[in-house]
Amino acid sequence: MLKEGDVVYAIVADIRKTMATADVVAKEGTERQVGGETYATIHVSKISPGYTEDVSKELRKGDFIRARVIGIKPSLQLTTKEEHLGVIRSLCSRCKGEFVKKGENKLYCEECKYSMPRKLADDYGDVQI
């Protein structure tokens, strides 16, 4: 079971007006599957250290993220505010190619030649999954 303070890996499931939802797939440091509740929410105020009002400028559906558990009741609540937290892998929505990191919090598709903002973990593109 997960508890507050745990670092987890999750896949962004949906983007809403004031939050993102995600499915927790693993807990850092263990190979066992996560037991219990895996549905989690990330409130817009808990995504990045700066002021965010548009969730879709920070996270997108299908993004693979590293996050910290900050609440477990009534459902899992996560944050990606820390430097080491955020998106660790993302695919281009047009061509499904792998986005590369370009700049502080930007992803770039070399195939489609376009970039998108994201809240990236400091080791984006360098994570063994």
At 124, list the tokens.
Answer: 């984006």
Say if CB 76 and CB 23 are below 8 A apart: no
Q: Tell me: does residue 69 bind Zn ion (CB under 5 A).
A: no
Q: Tell me: does residue 109 bind Zn ion (CB under 5 A).
A: yes
Q: Tell me: does residue 102 bind Zn ion (CB under 5 A).
A: no
Q: Tell me: does residue 127 bind Zn ion (CB under 5 A).
A: no
Q: Tell me: does residue 107 bind Zn ion (CB under 5 A).
A: no
Calculate the dihedral angle through the C-alpha atoms of 96, 98, 99, 100, rounding to the nearest 10 degrees. -160
Stretch of 7-15, 75-83, 94-102, 115-123 contacting Zn ion, by CB under 5 A: 94-102
Say if CB 51 and CB 67 are below 8 A apart: no
Q: How far is the CB of 65 from Zn ion (least distance, A)?
A: 20
DSSP class per residue in 14-47: EE-SSEEEEEEEEETT--SPPPS--EEEEEGGGS
Binding test (CB under 5 A) with Zn ion, winner from 95, 122, 123, 127: 95
Binding test (CB under 5 A) with Zn ion, winner from 24, 34, 92, 121: 92
Q: Which residues bind Zn ion (CB under 5 A)?
A: 92, 94-95, 97, 109, 111-112
